[in-house]
Each structure stands twice: as C-alpha cells, then as structure tokens.
Amino acid sequence: MNARGYEPLLLKSLHRPEAARLAAYEESGGYRALRRALQEMTPDQVIEEVKASGLRGRGGAGFPTGMKWGFMPKTPGPKYLVLNADESEPGTFKDRLLMERDPHLVLEGFLIGCYAVGCSHGFIYIRGEFVKPYQILRRALEEAREKGYVGKKILGSGFDCEITLYRGAGAYICGEESAMIESIEGKRGMPRLRPPYVAQVGLFDRPTLEHNMETLHWVREILERGADWFASQGRNGRKGLRSFSVSGRVKKPGVHLAPAGITVKQLIDEYCGGMLEGHAFYGYLPGGASGGILPASMGDIPLDFDTLNQYGCFIGSAAIVIFSERDKASDAAKNLMKFFSEESCGQCTPCRVGTAKALKLLDSQRWDQPLLKELSQAMMDASICGLGQAAPNPVLSVMKYFPQEIG
C-alpha cells in the first residue's frame, strides 16, 4: 500500500524481473482469477462484472469494455480476440512495460476475455520494434501452455483456447483495429471502411473483438478484486485507475498509475515530483500525438474520456507530454503533422494530401490560419480512419490556445 492509499497494481512487478516467470506469478496469486472464472462463473457473469466496473478501453477511443463484449454475436463458429500490442503512438510506453514485466498478467486477462466472449483462438499483435517484449511474451506463452493455462480443456474445464503471437513490421497505422486485421490476414495494413464493424465481420470475416493490452490487464484485476473496487478508484467523479505515460519537463517521467480523472497539475505534483528545476509549466499534450495541446492555464481539467472533448482534445491512450516555457506548442504541432504525414497509409486523399499540404503551410513563419482551418475540416470530415480525422488536432489547438506563437 502506498501513500496514496492503494497497492500499485500495474507496476507491482516493475522492480522484480523474476515476476515475468510463471512460478513467481503463480506464487503471487497468478491465474487464480482465470480459475475462478472457468470454475465458478458463466461467460455472461464475467461480462456483467466487467460492465459493472465501468472499465473503458485504454487503446484510445474509450469504448465501455463490457458493452463491447455484449456486441459479440453468440452464434456458433469461430470468433477471434485480437490483443493490440502495437503501441506506436508517440509518447505512449505503458504496454511495453506490462509486456516486459508482467507477461502472465497480460495472458491471464486475455484468456478471461476469450472465455467471456467465446473465442477459442486469439492473436497478440506486437509492434515489430519490440524485440525484447516479444521474446518475453513468447517465453511466458510457452510456460503457460506447458502448465495447461493455454490449449485444450484449460484447467480441466471445457474451455479450449489457443494464442498466436504475431509481429508487426513497424507501421503506426497497423495499430488501427481493422488495419491490424488486414495485416494478420497477410495483406498490406490499411484500415477498412465501416460498416460492417469488426464485431460482425472481422478477422477472416469472422466476429472479432480487439483490445488494448492495458484494458485486458484490468479485466484480470477486476475479477480478482471486484467491480466495486475498480469503480471506486477514480477521482473527480471518474471511475477506475489508469496508467499515464508521462514525458517531458518533469522530474520523474515514466509510467504512473493514477486515478482516472486526475488533473495534469495533480499528476505533475503528486506523481512526477514537480517540474524540472528552472522550468515552468507551459502546456501539455493530454492524449499523445492526436489528442491536441492545452495551455497550463487549462491544467485543472479531469484527465479522462469525455472531459476533454469540449476543448477539442481527448485523452486517447493517456500519453501526457509536459512542456515548459522553453518549448513551443507550434513546433510540437508541426512535428506531429510530419509524423502523421509519414505514417498515413495513403489510401484516402484527405489524409494523404491533407497532411502533406498542412505540413507545407506550417513551414511558413506566419500560419495561414483560414486555409489551415479549412483543410483541417476537410480532413476531419472525409478521412476514413482516426489517423486522418485526428491529425489536425494539435494544429487547431495551437491556433486556439497559443495564438501568441503564430503571429
């Protein structure tokens, strides 16, 4: 238990490298929640418990997890669960930590998810550059298979589940769920037009559920500690805990486990040891590359889903980048547009041409604001996927909140 009143779950194995091994994981109660689910709960009861916890997806969109599970058709035939471990959003580094330090926790949450929605085969899609996490996860999977947690008749129940690890090739767009499905099918990773949604027609044209790694890790904890425990953890009227990847001008950057709804000022003071010596808080990215940029004067907004939308921002995967007065939000916006332009899959014109055109406009000393706004609107309205739709957010934020920087 730490000073803030809870045991730091997500990071509890951070300083115990041996915790990545099965024996140590089992010793600390590992696979107990899976056993309980298989032996004492029906799949519907698991779904109800997750719904009651208020858990929302940690991959970006924040869709309520239990509700998403409820959308999976109950028809017979193959269904798939895909675990998104592509983590390529600039500023996000929480899933990597989980994979390296607590791979069995990830596998247990994944298996519980498969049981709840009736999947007998799941895929874990790992970012290509994550060589060490891949090796650790592969070893954990072998251990789990040998011990009967993966495979046929798991723990003596009627539940069969196989897990395949799949390595990406370093494309940011493959983190988007339908592009990831295309990639696993062996095609070029490009987002699909929807509908049909992947819950109906997904991997190999079968119903598919896709989740971020942290989301499924919380499923395991919710079963272990109860939905009420999870729901009671938030701050400022929000539910649950979440991991924040904090970088920038703070004394202690890193992954911080904190209540959902905490404000950035509280995060800096209570978790990050304050600002670096000689730096004053100037602004922040509340949600990674595409979540927009806010000034320090707006540092009291609860960091969670829904609260930031009215300011043209979102929390996404909770990658918080802290700027001091030595940084320029306009430089960050330009840099991020460059990233989006390079990572655009090129499938649709508003994104492919829009990001390149925006980058050119951002190159000039004085931004052509009317033209940038018009271009941004076209990108947001007409792009196929979240990359093109959200790419203008940092630029729009700078025009709104940092006008002094752009003349």
Ligand X SMILES: Cc1cc2nc3c(=O)[nH]c(=O)nc-3n(C[C@H](O)[C@H](O)[C@H](O)COP(=O)(O)O)c2cc1C
Q: Under the rule (CB under 6 A), what is the footprint of ligand X?
A: 57-61, 63, 84, 86-89, 173, 175-177, 210-212, 215, 385-387
Q: Could you tell me the two tokens for 311? A: 């300011």
Site membership for ligand SF4, residue 263 (CB under 6 A): no
DSSP string across 121-143 = EEEEEE-TT-HHHHHHHHHHHHH
Smaller CB separation from ligand X, 272 or 395: 395
Smaller CB separation from ligand SF4, 127 or 220: 127
Burial class (CB in 10 A: 0-12, 13-18, 19+), 278: exposed
- Residue of 83, 173, 318, 337 interacting with ligand SF4 (CB under 6 A): 173
Smaller CB separation from ligand SF4, 302 or 388: 388
- Residue of 351, 362, 372, 395 interacting with ligand SF4 (CB under 6 A): 351
Site membership for ligand SF4, residue 307 (CB under 6 A): no
Q: Residue 50: which of 245, 211, 243, 198 has the closest Cα?
A: 211
Does residue 324 come out as left (phi exceeding 0), alpha (psi in the -120 to 50 range) or beta?
beta
Q: Could you tell me the two tokens for 277? A: 């010596």
Contact partner at residue 384 from ligand X, ligand SF4, none, CB < 5 to 8 Å by partner kind: ligand SF4
- Residue of 296, 348, 362, 395 interacting with ligand SF4 (CB under 6 A): 348
Contact 96, 80 (CB under 8 A): no
Q: What are phi and psi of 173, to 5 degrees?
A: -65, -25
Could you list the beta-strand ranges (E) of 65-154.
80-85, 121-126
Min separation Cβ 405 and ligand X, Å: 27
Residues between 39 and 98 that touch ligand SF4 (CB under 6 A): none
Contact 102, 213 (CB under 8 A): no
Min separation Cβ 43 and ligand SF4, Å: 34
* CA gap 58, 65 in Å, rounded: 9
- Residue of 385, 390, 399, 406 interacting with ligand SF4 (CB under 6 A): 385
Q: What are phi and psi of 233, to 5 degrees?
A: -85, -15
Contact partner at residue 84 from ligand SF4, ligand X, none, CB < 5 to 8 Å by partner kind: ligand X
Min separation Cβ 230 and ligand X, Å: 15
In the sheet that 121-126 helps form, which strands lie side by side, from edge to edge? 162-167, 121-126, 80-85, 208-212
Smaller CB separation from ligand X, 132 or 153: 132
Site membership for ligand SF4, residue 387 (CB under 6 A): yes
Smaller CB separation from ligand X, 61 or 298: 61
Residues near ligand SF4 (CB under 6 A) are 173, 191, 344-348, 351-352, 383-385, 387-388
